[in-house]
Chains A and B, each alone.
Chain A
Amino acid sequence: MISLFVSEFLQNYCAILYAKCVTLKILIIEDEQALLQSILAFLTASGYVCESVSDYAGALEKLEVYNYDCIVLDIMLPGGSGLQLLKYMKENKSQDGVIILSAKDSLEDKIKGLELGADDYLTKPFHLAELSVRIASIIRRKKFSGQVVLQFGEFQIDTAGQSISVSSKILDLTQKEYQLLLFLCINKNKVITKNAIAEHLWGDDMDMASNLDFIYVHIKNLRKKIVAAGAEDPIKSLYGVGYKLEIP
């Protein structure tokens, strides 16, 4: 019993260490330069080591030689289809996580992409914060089999148990509050718009202004719970347009 506990602790601890020490490599395959630059800047600022390539042949070259923790893959590329690249990777037993970026919102494409072994599918136009949180989720799943305790300042997030503790006290959060705090943590020190939060929490069919006020209620509750646990409130609001979780 004790040994089980110890091994679990060690595993978690190692995972934390691993996540902290090992740099995570991401390959971005996207032919639209302007978009590529934004993704690169955003993900680099999030602490990833990013490489980028903007055509089929170049992508194939990179995939033949290197391994990545996560690949951001556009479907329509000059010289070939992203789905073909996906096929190539699966044939070569690549363990890299893949998130498809596509402008195609059709159900068939989504199903096809996921069937070919993609880990996630994001439809353009997306929020950079959403991309970031999806990539983090894929890496957790693929690399650490979901057994990760993430450390953000005073926050410790156990993604397997879906619980967050601050200063070693577990916060009593609702499902939505957990998702919200995780979202803010992964996009720490960045301004996140209410729209991005709303889409993350409720999906993109929610086009209601009332939602946005509703986020405010969630944030307020979160702040209360964090302060009650004895920590300082790290969430800054920005003129009512968005929020930012500040962690030094």
Chain B
Amino acid sequence: MRLFTKYNRVNIGVSIFVFIAGSVGFYLVLHYVLIKQLDETLRSEKQEIVEYVAVHHQLPDIQNTKHQWITVQPTAQSFIADLISSYSIYKAKEEEYESVRQLRFGITVGNTKYAIAVNKSEVETEDILQLIILVTMGMIALILLLNYSINRMIINRLWQPFHQSVTAIKNFTVSDMNFLVLPQVDIDEFNLLNESFNKMAQNIGTEYHALKTFTENASHEMQTPLAVIRSKTEMLLQQTEWNEEAVRNVLGIEESIQKLSRLHQALLLLTKIGNVYYDFNETVQFNELIEQKLLEKADLLQAKELSVVKNIAAVDLLFHNYLAEILLNNLLGNAIKYTPGGGTISLELTPEGFTISNTAASGALDDEKIFQRFYKTEQEQEGIGLGLAIVYEIVKVSGFRIQYFFEEQQHLFRIYFNQEK
């Protein structure tokens, strides 16, 4: 929910509640006051009658109007207390009920006792009340409407710098050399936000570059001793060439160097991918890359007598050339490595995705663990266990998705180029 909507919902809700409560209160107070006034009129009417009786010792002529009428009834009751009450009567003419206020009192003229009731219609009072309430409601509606539109206009304008900042932050990538610079604005809160973001981005940038430098330096520092060991073993090999025992020992060292070096490069690559080191703005002709990789590995395919089934459409991807190459290398390399001799490797490329499948030597792999680093099955001893982890990382950072299936005695890896299923 947008801030404005949320704010408005609360604002308007509370306003309406307050206005309704206010209106009800206002109505009650007004009603009370008007009735009081009506009662006052009734009492002064009584006063007039009482005074008239005191002077003339007879009841006055009673002039009834539409809104005020007086009834006189002789009564046997000795004392009647003043009583003010309201009641409704049905007016046939208007076909509606009408509220009437009545003051009943007793009076003695000579020896006769009368009960007099002064009645006054509340219609006028109600009309006034209605009018006042109507005007009030109108005002309230107007105020709410104005409030809403002003808020809307002002808030949209006030939040402009915020949206600009958000757009800038969205487009910010740490691997870019240029730091995030959010502009100065004339609202302190947003300025504070922008300044904090600028500072944070700067810190991230500095840390990132420090980390990158460290990773590269670490790589340098480790590769050099490895290079020394390898060169020494090779020199040693020249010297011990006719001593089988020595040669096998030296070869053991050489193999370990090979593995260590590969392991190191793979980990370095994983770190780099994890740090979003790459931009994905290169157009990669994926179909041609597949053909190229197949050509490179033609020897191996032939040696293991593997048959390749291709179903490849021309697909251009917004990707990274180097990573695309590694991705294919690892997937195809694995397929060749683990397909038993004489097996089949199938490749399928459509604009939606890429599928590589190969004849399985044994059962399904654990699809939960298969993309984990250093996951190895029993039959896999020689690999370093990072190939699929690298594939997974590349697929992840490029916004693709990969899934493993085991179908009809085939290992099947499918990369979806679209995020959605």
Contact = CB atoms under 8 A, between A and B. Distances in A.
Given A32-B224, A123-B223, A206-B333, A244 B254 contact: no
Contacts of B241: 191, 238, 244
Given A42-B231, A204-B262, 5 more contacts: A101-B227, A105-B223, A202-B296, A207-B258, A207-B333
B219 A32 contact: no
A104 B382 contact: no
A32 B337 contact: no
B300 A211 contact: yes
B118 to A, nearest CB: 104
Interface string B233-270: 01101100100100110010011011001100100100
Contacts of B220: 76, 102-104
Contacts of A196: 234
Interface string A88-123: 000000000000011111110000000000000001
A176 interface: yes
B131 interface: no
Interface stretch (A3-11, A124-132, A147-155): A124-132
Interface of B: 216, 219-224, 226-232, 234-235, 237-238, 241, 244, 247-248, 251, 254-255, 257-258, 261-262, 265, 268, 272, 296, 299-300, 303-304, 322, 326, 329, 333, 336-337, 382-384
Contact of B234 (A102, A193, A239): A193
A1 interface: no
A124 B255 contact: no
A195 B382 CA distance: 14
Contact of A104 (B219, B237, B299): B219
Contact of B299 (A76, A107, A190, A214): A214
A209 B381 CA distance: 10
Interface in A217-239: 217, 238-239
Contacts of A127: 230, 234
A102 B261 CA distance: 13
Nearest to A195: B258
Q: Which of A101, A193, A203, A213 has the most CB of B within 10 A?
A: A193
Contacts of A128: 231, 234-235
A239 B243 CA distance: 10
Contact of B251 (A39, A101, A193): A193
